[in-house]
Amino acid sequence: MLTLISPAKSLDLRSPTPGHQTTEPRMLDDATSLATIMAGKTSADLRMLMGVSEEIATLNVERYRNFQPGTPDEARPAATTFNGAVYRGMEPHLFTTRDWTEAQKVLRILSGLYGVLRPLDRIQPYRLEMGTALHTDRGSTLVDWWGERIRMLLEADLAESPGAKVIVNLASAEYFRPVRGIDATVISPRFESRDRQGRWKVISFTAKTARGLMAGWLVRNRVRTPGALKNFDVGWRYHVEGSTPEVPVFRKGE
């Protein structure tokens, strides 16, 4: 069983890294080729391409122009470098040595630049979302660039992972696009909380944090079967009504 999560725009480049053996990203040749393409862009290009401010565009132009093939010493583990709501919910900095070993087997981060990352894969600072309309010799989007590569690597990982032949999809729709058609059962949990009118809805930030909580819970509890997802209770409860095998619903505080 594999769990998929998205990366984050915000990065933590200062906190101490976990004292565990790191690994090299397995799609590094593709990442280096993409970084070379991005290094040829100007800050104006990146503002248009990514819809970001001048400051962010200039920062990322510099990052891509300084991108080094391979994984230099200053590269950091992916799971503790990404710093969005998902990662704050997951709390990888609290993983034990055994948790890190488990995470390397069962947790995958989908990335616009690196394709598929394991938690301890070393990454350099970057910003490149999967939905970017980047024209390359493989097509007009990053999804075109990756083609079947991401799906094929995940299928290989799934064949070696412990437990059922199941993908627990905690990634966004944008990042899951290159995974579509994977030869596996896909389960996409839905996280609902009450809005100001008291209606049960998916509220973006709260749902992102919940995805991280579930990802961390799956690692720490060595979950091997999809049926065990119903036991997730870290501030959320499984809601039988409205749930299906493919889309289990969890509600906050119910």
pLDDT in tens, 172-228: 999 999 999 999 999 999 999 999 988 999 999 999 999 999 999 999 999 999 999
- CA gap 99, 76 in Å, rounded: 18
For 74-85, the pLDDT digits (tens) are 789 999 999 999
C-beta separation of 174 from 111 below 8 A: no
CA 164 to chain centre: 21
Q: Which residues contact 198 (CB under 8 A, 6 or more apart)?
A: none
What is the rounded distance in angstroms from the CA atom of residue 134 to the CA atom of residue 128?
10
Where do the DSSP E strands lie in the chain? Answer: 2-5, 76-77, 107-111, 115-117, 122-123, 166-169, 185-187, 190-194, 200-201, 236-239, 249-252
* pTM, full prediction: 0.96
Three-state DSSP class for residue 249: strand
Question: Coil, helix or strand for 209?
Answer: helix
Domains of the chain by residue range: 2-252
φ, ψ (nearest 5 deg) of residue 17: -90, 155
Closest-CA residue to 64 (of 83, 81, 45): 45
3-state secondary structure at position 81: helix
Residues 89-138 have pLDDT tens digits of 999 999 999 999 999 999 999 999 999 999 999 999 999 999 999 999 99
